[in-house]
Amino acid sequence: MKNKSYEPQAIEQTWYQKWEANNYFAPSGRGMPYCIALPPPNVTGTLHMGHGFQQSIMDVLIRYHRMCGNNTLWQIGTDHAGIATQMVVENLLRSEGADRHILGRENFVKRIWGWKKYSGDTICSQERRLGISGDWTREKFTLDPNLVQAVQHVFISLYEEGLIYRGKRLVNWDPVLNTAISDLEVISEDSEGSLWHIRYPVADSTESLIVATTRPETMLGDTAVAVHPEDARYQHLIGKQVKLPLTDRLIPIIADEYVDMKFGTGCVKITPAHDFNDYALGQRHNLPLINIFTKDAYINENAPKIYQGLDRFVAREKILADLKSAGLLIKVEKHQLKIPKGERSGAIVEPYLTDQWFVKASVLAKPAIEAVEHGKIKFIPENWSKIYLQWLENIEDWCISRQLWWGHRIPAWSDEKNNIYVGRSEEDVRVKYKLGNIALKQDEDVLDTWFSSALWPFSTLGWPEQTPEFKTFYPTAVLVTGFDIIFFWVARMVMMGLKFTGEVPFKEVYITGLIRDSHGQKMSKSKGNVLDPVDLIDGIALDDLIKKRTSNLMQQHLTKEIEKQTRLDFPSGIPGFGADALRFTFCALATTSRDVNFDIARLEGYRNFCTKIWNATRFVLMQLEGFDRSNNAVEFSLADRWIKSELQRTLHIIETEFKNYRFDLVTQAIYEFTWHQFCDWYLELAKPILYSENFSASAKQGTRETLLSTLETILRVIHPFMPFITEELWQEVAPKLNIKRPTIMLEQYPQFDKSEVDNEAVVEIEWLKKVILAIRNIRGEMNISPAKPLPLLLSKGTVTDKKRIEKHTQYLKALARLESIDWITEEKIPAAATTLVDELELHIPLANLIDISAEIARLNKEIGKLKADIERAATKLNNVNYTSKAPSDVVARERLKLAENQSTLQKLQTRVMDLLGVK
């Protein structure tokens, strides 16, 4: 600690390098294993606040358990993030005027690897800036060779067991990305649409049916019209045919209970190739499937020529116009509907008939459900298990193939007759299926990125090999993640983990909230409210922040609004708060709430806390000039005993709340103890002993000893939250305790020790605080300068009060800034400001200092409060129901309090009378 004032930039850089260079992040090889698998960030760019939040929490857990003596591994790495990363690089290419199809698959993938290095390196450097203590020597990427091996192993086993199958199915198709996506990747968006009523003439009849549809363009693929079997209006038409307008096709009128008689006209056009319900209905009735779209959602050759080649929405307009001119468009109604959009591209998703690979999820889901129901996996907060279970209990098959180039290639080959062979490699399948020399072609598709993520907790530990790491650290201790990926990831890890290792992948799932901005808005590029954790650590000028938020915007027109809001939120940019303050803030915000509003004011407050710790350490070190532990006799003061006891009380809270994952309560306890007990009280109580001639050398020695050991303990307590500042300070403090070990990181975490709890000291110091506070209160309310020494007169009081006053004269004089303390008899009390501490009466003589009427007003305010309290208590105690039914200790407490208040009231009233007399 070279600087007088706390400057995070000056200390944070060097320590990290030392820790990493000395391999302190690696498992110790001793103690109970404790492992966290980091949710691997996507290599799509840089870390955002959510990562910072979750990683801070994980690092706190990791550092805590490492200090508690566990054999601790934080398995870190990054995720290839299939679609997301491919899109980033495609956008990059587009800005260069290039295209992945021009580049070709091999070159494009090469290009993505280049991007992966750039993004991965950025992420790792951000993580280092945050101070995270993952084992870098074991860093993994989801496309690393042994993770590829794990993916293949799982795919092949599931295929051979019949749990993976390939089939032509209706899937969610993203016509922009040209790939299938899973149900989870489809986002329903509310939209104001229309319901068109279209007349379908019945063949060989003058009758017609009116169908209602939100998607008129799909009529080109209609293969039936359905009515409810019991619908009296249409009974006679079931089995007949209608002429499908704009085409020359005749399609049947069928009956199915799926149709809701009350909705629209009760007639539904059926398009099995472009609607999930219609598909199911088509299967029941053996309807043909007519696919009318290309992969890009243009009308294809199966439709009448005049519509071919039209975009789906252009086609819609034309079809509506044509229907209208044919007199077949009956009416249009406004209609609320949900539009399915691709999570990544935002394109309207089309149900589309393609060959895809699927996982039979329901089979895998059963054990995953049981694991949570039987408590083998515990969610924190508990109620997320409901969400998890609900989803698994209704799980659909998982479409795992993606028509992308970036990802795990599907380990399947086909021959010319489209027979499928699954194996580790082309060679492997030839041998396995005895194929000889026939032509084989590998499946072009890659796997859904979540397929490899599902294996992360064990694939990173070397599975399917039974490596020492796998045997030691699996199952991992806890998964720390957000509720937004419970389905995508958590559930699938549990399914795969149980299936392939026979064990749960983690024993606990700690679900964090989602980081939002200070207004409660979700952080997103398009809202322009994104914060980069590193900018909070290092600081950023306003102009740079605006530039960062408005560059590469999809919607340019938002620039002005974003700039305005940014200027409003951060009028002078963001100062560098340091990683320690940021990490502590994240933990302090980690309540059970699902939304976490990130307010820079909190960060500022905790930066100030760092400053406080810094200065307190400077103070303690200043008191230790010439301090030698070995030489002198030691005598511990009441304050020494008290602060040690308070420290234990704090450690007890910390221990409990760590188990509960209540980091907000842990940080609160740390903050309260460090600032309000240690700094505000203990350091002030230490000063009189250290500065006064009246105290013995052994008393001074005891105080120094306590200052030092308490501070050193505090530093260890705080270290998991604030690794940098605590290391920096500890390096100065520890040698004074003759500690020669190299780093605070590997020291023992302070443990709660009941034997150091000292209730006697606590009671007495609490009394002392009350007396000091009472005097300060008068000073404050009467606007007397804190610099002005005051005379104190005492009256009444018990024998204990007298003893204590005598004993603590030094403390009282110093902390309440008194020039004198004298006992007087009741008759001699002068005009004074009076306050009570139980039986003891404290008087500050008014003599020019205090206005009598101000004192009367102050007392009357106090009297008012007491009267209200007394009345409430009296009513309560007069209620027989209360005194007979409430527990006796509660009643006794109430009685005692009432008696005290009555006595205080009387005394204060007497004082008012006296003062009025003086006046």
Partner RNA sequence: GGGUGCUUAGCUCAGUUGGUAGAGCAUCGCCUUUACAUGGCGGGGGUCGGGGGUUCGAGCCCCUCAGCACCCACCA
Contact flag: residue 878 with RNA (CB under 7 A): no
User: Nearest distance from residue 392's CB to RNA, in Å?
Assistant: 11
Contact flag: residue 122 with RNA (CB under 7 A): no
User: Nearest distance from residue 876's CB to RNA, in Å?
Assistant: 7
Only segment of 202-210, 261-269, 298-306, 741-749 that touches RNA (CB under 7 A): 261-269
Contact flag: residue 895 with RNA (CB under 7 A): no
Distances (CA, A) of 108 to 44, 102, 168, 180: 16, 9, 28, 20
Contact flag: residue 627 with RNA (CB under 7 A): no
Tokens at 490, concatenated: 């958590």
805 near 794, Cβ under 8 Å?
Answer: yes
161 near 423, Cβ under 8 Å?
Answer: no
198 near 328, Cβ under 8 Å?
Answer: yes
Only segment of 94-102, 275-283, 463-471, 822-830 that touches RNA (CB under 7 A): 275-283
440 near 426, Cβ under 8 Å?
Answer: yes
Only segment of 150-158, 271-279, 524-532, 822-830 that touches RNA (CB under 7 A): 271-279
Secondary structure (DSSP) of 277-323? HHHHHHHHHT------B-TTSBB-TTS-GGGTT-BHHHHHHHHHHHH
Contact flag: residue 809 with RNA (CB under 7 A): no
Dist. CA 545–CA 563, nearest whole Å: 9
User: Nearest distance from residue 548's CB to RNA, in Å?
Assistant: 24
Binding mask 836-875 for RNA (x = CB under 7 A): ---------------------------------x--xx--
Name residues contacting RNA, limited to 197-226 (CB under 7 A): 211-215
Name residues contacting RNA, limited to 736-775 (CB under 7 A): 773
Sole binder of RNA in the list 165, 258, 433, 570 (CB under 7 A): 258
334 near 194, Cβ under 8 Å?
Answer: yes
Name residues contacting RNA, limited to 493-552 (CB under 7 A): 518, 520
User: Nearest distance from residue 316's CB to RNA, in Å?
Assistant: 13
User: Nearest distance from residue 111's CB to RNA, in Å?
Assistant: 32
Name the strand (E) or helix (H) holding 653.
helix 638-659
Binding mask 579-618 for RNA (x = CB under 7 A): ------------xxxxxxx-x-xx-xx-xx-xxx--xx-x
Sole binder of RNA in the list 110, 117, 236, 386 (CB under 7 A): 386
Name residues contacting RNA, limited to 432-451 (CB under 7 A): none
User: Nearest distance from residue 484's CB to RNA, in Å?
Assistant: 7
Dist. CA 760–CA 248, nearest whole Å: 98
Name residues contacting RNA, limited to 771-800 (CB under 7 A): 773, 776-777, 779-781, 783-787
Only segment of 247-255, 404-412, 633-641, 665-673 that touches RNA (CB under 7 A): 665-673
Nearer to RNA, 92 or 339 (CB): 339
User: Nearest distance from residue 869's CB to RNA, in Å?
Assistant: 5
Binding mask 5-34 for RNA (x = CB under 7 A): xxx---------------------------
E strands present in 93-185: 140-141, 164-174, 179-181
Nearer to RNA, 341 or 408 (CB): 341
Dist. CA 714–CA 620, nearest whole Å: 13
Strand, helix or coil for residue 13: helix
Nearer to RNA, 472 or 615 (CB): 615
524 near 554, Cβ under 8 Å?
Answer: no
Name residues contacting RNA, limited to 321-380 (CB under 7 A): 337-338
Tokens at 837, concatenated: 């501490």
Q: Of 528, 596, 522, which is closest to residue 556 (Cα–Cα)?
A: 528
User: Nearest distance from residue 325's CB to RNA, in Å?
Assistant: 22
Sheet of 329-342: strands edge to edge?
208-213, 186-201, 329-342
350 near 482, Cβ under 8 Å?
Answer: no
654 near 666, Cβ under 8 Å?
Answer: yes
Nearer to RNA, 409 or 602 (CB): 602
User: Nearest distance from residue 610's CB to RNA, in Å?
Assistant: 7
Sole binder of RNA in the list 24, 136, 165, 276 (CB under 7 A): 276
Contact flag: residue 284 with RNA (CB under 7 A): no
Name residues contacting RNA, limited to 668-687 (CB under 7 A): 668, 671, 675-676, 679-680, 683-684, 687
Only segment of 145-153, 253-261, 428-436, 474-482 that touches RNA (CB under 7 A): 253-261
Only segment of 75-83, 265-273, 437-445, 908-916 that touches RNA (CB under 7 A): 265-273
Nearer to RNA, 147 or 778 (CB): 778
Tokens at 608, concatenated: 């100030």
Secondary structure (DSSP) of 518-567? TTSPBP-TTTT----HHHHHHEE-HHHHHHHHHTT-SSGGGHHHHHHHHH
Nearer to RNA, 389 or 440 (CB): 389
Nearer to RNA, 162 or 887 (CB): 887
Dist. CA 315–CA 331, nearest whole Å: 19
Nearer to RNA, 466 or 879 (CB): 879
Cα 480 to its chain centre, rounded Å, is 8
Nearer to RNA, 157 or 277 (CB): 277
> Site size for RNA, by CB under 7 A?
93
Dist. CA 670–CA 663, nearest whole Å: 10
Dist. CA 94–CA 89, nearest whole Å: 9
User: Nearest distance from residue 363's CB to RNA, in Å?
Assistant: 18
User: Nearest distance from residue 648's CB to RNA, in Å?
Assistant: 17
Nearer to RNA, 5 or 738 (CB): 5
A 10 A CB-CB count for 570 gives 17
Contact flag: residue 277 with RNA (CB under 7 A): yes
Rg (CA), the chain: 37
Sole binder of RNA in the list 49, 268, 315, 792 (CB under 7 A): 268
Nearer to RNA, 822 or 889 (CB): 889
Distances (CA, A) of 332 to 74, 214, 582, 743: 60, 10, 56, 74
User: Nearest distance from residue 897's CB to RNA, in Å?
Assistant: 5
Q: Judging by DSSP bridges, how do beta strands 818-823 and 790-796 pair with one another?
A: parallel
Dist. CA 11–CA 258, nearest whole Å: 69
Sole binder of RNA in the list 261, 328, 330, 420 (CB under 7 A): 261
Nearer to RNA, 69 or 340 (CB): 340
233 near 262, Cβ under 8 Å?
Answer: no
Dist. CA 727–CA 745, nearest whole Å: 8
Amino acid of residue 530: V
Does residue 887 have a cis bond before it (omega within 30 degrees)? no
User: Nearest distance from residue 58's CB to RNA, in Å?
Assistant: 20
User: Nearest distance from residue 687's CB to RNA, in Å?
Assistant: 7
Tokens at 294, concatenated: 């290309």
Contact flag: residue 568 with RNA (CB under 7 A): no
277 near 260, Cβ under 8 Å?
Answer: no
Tokens at 576, concatenated: 């560098």
Sole binder of RNA in the list 14, 17, 188, 205 (CB under 7 A): 188
User: Nearest distance from residue 288's CB to RNA, in Å?
Assistant: 19
In this structure, what are the phi and psi dihedrals at residue 822, rounded to the nearest 5 degrees? -135, 145
